[in-house]
């Protein structure tokens, strides 16, 4: 059986199971194209959090990484939330164990804790407000200027927010994304020399020296919207290469170049790419792996997300 035929039949199974289960498929822009093609909604972490809340079916299939599915569950406690691959984690989540955050809060009880959505539900439950890469500046600006802030866990996004807000009283956790943090300015320089007419769009999880070279900085969806709408015909994209799918659909005549990262010579998130069509079908069929969280933690973790959504 050819791979193409095999995929076509898996896709049909997924669509039939989706109807049967009254499910919605949410996919992050970093998913494989074949998964994005089947999704009801494709988006960045903020858009998917919002969509998860508006949906009125019974099952949410979250094609992304575990913390994103946890967020969907927090906003939809009565719905079943499943993921294709339970091991699809995130280096930012791993860089902020909840015990360490609790210890920080004991030492610095006056700090307002702003946590990036790329954190565990347990960390969210210890946070005052959540942010995403799209609204981090707005979230920090919403906190009274005299209050000290802890921004966790992404050091690059934190530094970018500090620079944009001019906030002196902001401490930043030392976590990083294993994909964006290893995008190197010297490789970007080499790519710019190959494509001198191209502009640069970067995700704020990139190092400061990469952001300093960017013509546009934004979340994954913001990058897609900006590059599709802009007059420029060529872009160097400093984020995960899954965004190519929507970029090329939105602007078929334009050219998009991706810069490999230092560690794996690619620009793919190894966690996001654990999801496959077959795993997507199996999770719809078996309604597992399923996100379950303790009720008390869910209540405490939902509050800072709702504060963000209300902004």
List contacts with ligand SF4 (CB under 6 A). 65, 90-92, 118, 177-180, 205, 240, 269, 271-272
Q: Of 143, 110, 107, 82, which Cα lies nearest the Cα of 284?
A: 82
- List 71, 119, 127, 132, residue binding ligand 13P (CB under 6 A): 132
- The nearer residue to ligand 13P, 10 or 61, going by C-beta atoms, is 61
- The nearer residue to ligand 13P, 31 or 219, going by C-beta atoms, is 219
- List 36, 45, 115, 165, residue binding ligand 13P (CB under 6 A): 45
Contact between 91 and ligand 13P per CB under 6 A = no
Q: What are the two backbone dihedrals, phi and then psi, of residue 284, each rounded to the nearest 5 degrees?
A: -70, -35
Residue 117 Cβ vs ligand 13P, minimum distance, rounded to whole Å: 7
Residue 223 near residue 209 (C-beta atoms within 8 A): no
**CA contacts within 13 A on the Cβ side of 40:** 20
End-to-end Cα distance, the chain? 52
- Token pair 């929507």 is at which residue? 246
Look up residue 109 and give its two tokens.
């009880």
- The interface partner of residue 271, options being ligand SF4, ligand 13P, none and the CB cut-off 5 to 8 Å by kind, is ligand SF4
Select the span of 127-135, 155-163, 187-195, 227-235 touching ligand 13P (CB under 6 A).
127-135
- The Cα-based distances of 102 to 1, 80, 98 in angstroms read 54, 30, 6
- Rounded to whole angstroms, the Cα distance separating 106 from 116 reads 20
Go through the chain and tell me how many residues it has: 311
- The nearer residue to ligand 13P, 266 or 287, going by C-beta atoms, is 266
Residue 179 Cβ vs ligand SF4, minimum distance, rounded to whole Å: 4
Residue 65 Cβ vs ligand 13P, minimum distance, rounded to whole Å: 7
- Contacts with ligand 13P by CB under 6 A lie at 44-45, 118, 132-134, 177, 205, 219-220
């Amino acid at each position: 059986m050819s791979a193409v035929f095999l995929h076509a039949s898996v896709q049909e199974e997924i669509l039939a199971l989706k109807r049967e289960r009254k499910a919605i498929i949410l996919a992050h822009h970093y998913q494989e194209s074949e998964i994005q093609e089947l999704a009801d909604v494709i988006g960045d972490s903020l858009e998917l959090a919002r969509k998860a809340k508006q949906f009125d079916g019974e099952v949410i299939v979250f094609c992304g990484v575990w913390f994103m599915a946890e967020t969907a569950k927090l906003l939809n406690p009565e719905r079943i939330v499943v993921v294709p691959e339970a091991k699809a984690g995130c280096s930012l989540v791993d860089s902020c164990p909840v015990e360490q955050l609790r210890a920080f809060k004991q030492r610095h009880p006056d700090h307002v804790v702003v946590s990036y959505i790329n954190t565990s539900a347990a960390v969210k439950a210890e946070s005052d407000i959540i942010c995403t890469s799209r609204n981090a500046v707005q979230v920090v600006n919403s906190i009274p200027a005299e209050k000290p802030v802890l921004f966790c866990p992404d050091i690059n996004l934190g530094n970018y927010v500090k620079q944009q807000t001019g906030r002196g009283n902001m401490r930043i956790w030392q976590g990083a994304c294993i994909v964006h943090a290893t995008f190197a300015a010297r490789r970007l320089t080499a790519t710019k020399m190959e494509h001198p007419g191209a502009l640069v769009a970067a995700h704020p999880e990139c190092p400061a020296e990469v952001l300093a070279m960017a013509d546009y900085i934004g979340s994954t969806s913001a990058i897609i919207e900006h590059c599709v709408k802009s007059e420029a015909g060529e872009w160097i994209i400093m984020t995960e290469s899954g965004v190519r799918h929507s970029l090329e659909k939105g602007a078929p005549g334009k050219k998009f170049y991706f810069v490999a990262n230092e560690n794996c010579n690619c620009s793919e998130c190894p966690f996001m790419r654990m999801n496959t069509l077959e795993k997507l079908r199996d999770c719809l069929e078996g309604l597992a792996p399923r996100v379950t969280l303790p009720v008390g933690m869910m209540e405490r973790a939902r509050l800072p997300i709702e504060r963000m959504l209300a902004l």
